[in-house]
Amino acid sequence: MELSDWELVQRCQQGEIAAFQELVVKYHRKVFMVVLGIVNHREDAMEIAQETFFRAYRNINGFKGGSSFYTWLYRIAVNLSIDFQRRQKRSPVEFRETMDDLMDKGEGAKLANDPYVDVQGREIGKRLLAAIDELTPDHKAVIVMRAIEGLSYKDIGRVLGCSEGTVMSRLHYARKKLQEKLGPYL
């Protein structure tokens, strides 16, 4: 029988690392995607996602179940990613393997059967990533959480510590920007 997140959290609070491992199994991919969407760099995303789980483990006794575990986890991930982005802007790295490079290598895009569709898909993917990268971290966070997880505006608001109205307006703005950048490709 599969245990609920709260049951797993309670076991973690009693020191069962195996229960925490189950939570990592369940959420590592989604957390990684959210972080990757914000920082646009695979290795950095890996580091931040691992740090997210480490911090969740360290503070698990402080989690009282008032909100869902995943919103709590995403809050840690998004805060770490946004902090990282702000630090990066202050001290940019010369060479960074971005998602664009991965797309070129064929690692970042799902391959289609039709070569034309495949190339077009990669082109859209590259442009989309470039467009996301130009958004502010707050706008990236809303668009990524909505796209990957389909989180409700209420949950996104909980993660980011803002109102549903703010989430709605940020999403509208971010989508508008992405549509402008992608133009004829959509």
Partner 1 sequence: MKDCEVIESSLGAWLDGELDRSEAERVRIHVQECPSCLGEKERLERLQASLKGVLEGGASGLAFEPFWDGVRQRILERKPWHARLWDWARPAFYPQRLAWAIPLVIVFLLGILSLEQFFPGWRWGLNRGNVAAVDSIDGHGFNVAVFRESKTKTTVIWLFEDQEDENESSGESASTDSSF
Taking CB under 8 A as the criterion, the residue among 19, 80, 99, 159 binding partner 1 is 99
Q: How far apart are CA 165 and CA 182, in angstroms?
A: 26
Phi first, then psi: give them for residue 41, nearest 5 degrees: -155, 120
In 3D, which of 151, 147, 148, 168 has the Cα closest to residue 67?
A: 151
Single out the segment in contact with partner 1 by CB under 8 A; choices: 1-9, 68-76, 85-93, 172-180.
Answer: 172-180
- Is 65 a binding residue for partner 1 by CB under 8 A? The answer is no
- Is 109 a binding residue for partner 1 by CB under 8 A? The answer is yes
- Is 117 a binding residue for partner 1 by CB under 8 A? The answer is no
Q: Which pair of structure tokens corresponds to residue 142?
A: 């809303």
- Is 130 a binding residue for partner 1 by CB under 8 A? The answer is no
Its sign, for the CA torsion 51, 53, 57, 63, is positive
Q: How far apart are CA 78 and CA 90, in angstroms?
A: 19
Q: Which residues bind partner 1 (CB under 8 A)?
A: 14-15, 17, 21, 24-25, 28-29, 32-33, 36-37, 42, 46, 49-51, 53-54, 57-58, 99, 102, 107-110, 121, 124-125, 128-129, 132, 143-144, 146-148, 152-153, 164, 168, 171-172, 175, 178-179, 182, 186
